[in-house]
A and B are shown apart, each in its own frame.
Chain A
Amino acid sequence: MTRVIAGPFNRVEGDLEVALDIQDGVIARAEVTTTLYRGFEAILSGRPPSDALVIAPRICGICSVSQSIAAATALRNLAGGRAAPNGYLAANLAHAAENIADHLTHFYLFFMPDFARAEYAARAWFEPTAERFKAVSGNASAEYLPARRRLLEIMGLIAGKWPHSLAFQPGGVTKAIDIGERVRLAAILADTQVFLEQTLFGVSLDDILSMQTEEDLEAFRAKASGDFSAFLGIADDLSLRHLGRGPGLLLSYGAYHEAETSLFPAGIAGLGGVTPFDGSGISEDVAFSWFSDTAETPFEAETRPDALKDGAYSWAKAPRIDGKPMETGAAARLTVAGHPLITALIARDGGTSVRTRVIARLIETAILVHAMQGWLRELRLKEAFSTHFTLPDDARAAGLVEAARGALGHWVTLTNGKIERYQIIAPTTWNFSPRDRTGLAGPLEQALEGVETGALGAKSAALQHVIRSFDPCMVCTAH
């Protein structure tokens, strides 16, 4: 048995270290370490509730709008208020823009460059892949980054700037969109659609949205020439559908809410189907985390650092629902929503895999562009974009939303008009959870067990694929 430490594990958002016990070229045990703690929950306590809208987004520079929307949702729920219908729609437009940018940044800058590693030099697909996706110098990033810049112009119109905006408020958004701005938003979406259709997919979004079965996906791969089908070819060659299987249960809080509905529903999916999720049953355990013991439910818990705690190995807590770890992200969102293709892939493979996580993310970009075009049409430009209401002095409420990487929750308690307690569980807290007191490993830790690293140990590309397939956001994880 050899113990190796992989880190700094880069091309993820933030700082990640993974300790691996390797036996005969196979990972026997993995410990996932979040190496940074900044203490946002402690910084938030004692402040007026509206300060959460300044501070919470600054947890994360890549999913800042998601953090804003979780905070604004929690504040809105504290008051039992409603946002203006336009407010939900405008916030959804910005949120979806961020999430598309995150999915594509993951694909083009973080994930695909691993297939350009020298380890794959003998593969038939290596040369074109290296030319396209080699880190820093590959030609795909020179096409993707301008498309990203154009997409993020949505932020200039709705959010003032990105990252870190105060536009997202409990009652909606701070800026009314006028008739000219709606046209400009539509033009940006049209350009994003062109990038997706011509560069990523090589087919129309309608073709992507109509895929229902593995056979549809295979037919697409055979005819399309974009970056997605290139990935599918590599995935087949490397059997990525058998790599990095998740722990089984998939969690979504539901995403892109309006007053009564949401684009994606909340739920927990397992191989037996989808069960409803009502927000209860969530706990956080600190047995292997650098924190003092505390209550387990997020409304009651404190976050008190203990950097020298014996046996601990991460700044992340271990979230569970009814004692079970959950995988979260685009694959979970689409499975809970009953997407036929993603559901079929997971059923066939017996769980999530490196391949399915990537497929779900890219398909979701097509779904979101389509949804955004609908939200843009639904805006009633003559009506308000924000309601205004007073927050109570004493109340508690949660804001449960979905970031690109999955389930994001803020739990807030107000006392005498100030934040008494603020607890956050981020998507990668779920996915990259350490063990809990029963010794149960987190989703990535489970997905890494049994992965073959051969003689390459921590340098093995398979290890890189499994870890990056979750698109971890480590800065959110421990916050």
Chain B
Amino acid sequence: MDAFDDAGSARAVDGVPARCNKDDMNAVIPSRAKKTLLWLQAGSCGGCTMSVLEVGAKGFMRELQAFGIDLLWHPSLSEESGSEAIEIFEDVAEGRRPLDILCIEGSIMMGPDGTGLYSRMAGTGKTTLDWVRRLAPRARYCVAVGTCAAFGGIPAAQPFSEDVSGLQYGDGLEGGALGRDFRSLSGMPVINIAGCAPHPGWIMETLGAIAFDEFAATDLDKLGRPRFYAKTLAHHGCDRNEYYEFKASAEKLSDLGCMMEHLGCKATQAVGDCNQRAWNGGGSCTHGGFSCIACTSPGFEAANGFLKTPKVAGIPVGLPLDMPKAWFVALAALSKSATPERVRKNATSDRVTTDPQRGKAGRE
């Protein structure tokens, strides 16, 4: 029944025709075998799971079924508790049960002093670090769900930068809990679905692409993030774009203007299609009135004063990625001198007070 809704009709996924054979267990995936998924939480807030529960017209579990993904165990969803769950982990760790996808959510707690004791896998007497190191080599694909599992995230902030790591990156560098040379059975490095929390689509589309058997190392950027969302900047599609172009800046949170100059916004420096897809039906950070904190980037937690732009001689220290500084400064000065009155006024207001006006030529 996997790919069928209650009415028994086959569902199609973008670009992939659904089959009409009701007996086909993997209707959205042309002739692929089922995949197994084990999801564990390490030093996690659980927010990545909360995010992915938003996917799909009938929810995450039906979505997994539609993609032919068999959920071996998930801490928030599965019936098995205690020894029943440990049996599943042991079967995978000992190679008795094939594992296609291992999802790890949360930072890997290495401390104190490399013991991993800040996070024990309940009921097992072992640290989460031990379990991750036993299970990861058994997986065809190893997926870091969220910035914590990818790069360490907020728990890796001072004073814990030595005690907390991502799966394959720590403190922004290759290494982490599994080491720089780690490859899962597919030959892939850890897939880093960075984001705090990631968009539900980033997680589900990564899992779906793996189920399609067409996800390769070339689909990742140099920090292991899926390029389908990491190939653009969070800034792209920001609805404050006109304010950015004219350097009409917000002075305080709740103003409509661009938040880069004063309020710490890093959307021109952070990857993500954040402003090209809807969050919770239609939002995004900048749309919601607050700055991008670069949560898809390694080391984002190291900022001290997230909501204030660090400046030298009045010029923001962090300029847009791959933009020559001299040009940026020159263009910014030029834009500021050309800012329309409407944009200047609205930039420091919490709502549009000046509407677009009819021009001399009679056009809007």
Contacts and interface: CB of A to CB of B under 8 A. Distances in A.
A384 to B, nearest CB: 6
Contacts of B155: 38-40, 43
Nearest to B112: A307
Given A7-B124, A145-B56, A305 B118 contact: yes
Nearest to A464: B81
B59 A144 contact: yes
Nearest to B155: A38
**Could you say which interface size class chain B belongs to?**
35 or more
B280 A51 contact: no
A50 B307 contact: yes
A373 interface: no
Contacts of B192: none
A403 to B, nearest CB: 13
B77 A11 contact: yes
Interface in A145-177: 145-146, 148-150, 152-167, 169, 171-176
B149 interface: no
A458 B83 contact: yes
Nearest to A105: B53
Given A48-B304, A137-B61, A156 B54 contact: no
B285 A160 contact: yes
A51 B306 contact: yes
B43 to A, nearest CB: 5
A163 B290 contact: no
Interface of A: 5-11, 13-17, 33, 35-40, 42-43, 46-48, 50-51, 53-55, 58-62, 64, 105, 109-110, 113-114, 116-117, 134-137, 141-142, 144-146, 148-150, 152-167, 169, 171-176, 178, 305, 307-308, 384-386, 388, 458-459, 464, 475
A35 B289 contact: no
B261 to A, nearest CB: 17
Given A11-B78, A144-B59, A165-B288, A176 B124 contact: no
B186 interface: no
B305 A161 contact: no
Interface of B: 41, 43-51, 53-54, 56-62, 71, 74-86, 107, 109, 112, 115, 117-124, 153-155, 157-160, 164, 196-197, 252-254, 278-291, 293, 295, 303-308, 350-351
A50 B158 CA distance: 17
A360 B8 CA distance: 38
Given A167-B290, A459-B83, 11 more contacts: A11-B75, A33-B122, A51-B307, A55-B154, A58-B153, A155-B279, A160-B290, A162-B50, A178-B351, A307-B115, A388-B252
A464 B112 CA distance: 32
Contact of A42 (B74, B124, B160): B160
Given A54-B293, A58-B47, A61-B45, A109 B77 contact: yes
B254 A43 contact: no
Given A13-B76, A163-B197, A153 B282 contact: yes
A8 B291 contact: no
Contacts, number: 280
Contacts of A165: 285, 288, 290
B253 A386 contact: yes
B288 to A, nearest CB: 2
A176 B350 CA distance: 6
Contacts of B85: 8, 10
29 contacts: A8-B123, A9-B123, A11-B75, A17-B123, A36-B119, A38-B164, A42-B159, A43-B158, A50-B308, A53-B307, A114-B79, A142-B62, A144-B59, A145-B54, A145-B56, A149-B59, A159-B288, A162-B50, A163-B47, A165-B285, A166-B307, A167-B290, A175-B254, A175-B287, A176-B254, A178-B351, A385-B254, A459-B84, A475-B44
B50 A163 contact: yes
A7 B123 contact: yes
Majority secondary structure, B binding face? loop
B350 A385 contact: yes
Contacts of B124: 7-8
B119 A15 contact: yes
Contact of A145 (B47, B58, B282, B308): B58
Contacts of B305: 47-48, 50-51
A134 B80 CA distance: 11
Contacts of A61: 44-51, 197
- Which of A14, A38, A39, A109 gathers most chain B CB within 10 Å? A38
B304 A17 contact: no
Contact of B281 (A10, A156, A305): A156
B121 to A, nearest CB: 6
Contacts of A6: 81-82, 123
Contacts of B115: 307
Contacts of B58: 142, 145-146
A35 B197 contact: no
A185 to B, nearest CB: 11
B223 to A, nearest CB: 20
- Which of B46, B57, B84 gathers most chain A CB within 10 Å? B46
Contact of B254 (A8, A59, A116, A386): A386
Contact of B280 (A9, A48, A162, A172): A162
Contacts of B86: 8
Contacts of B79: 113-114, 116-117, 134-136
Contacts of A42: 159-160
Contacts of A384: 254, 350
Nearest to B75: A10
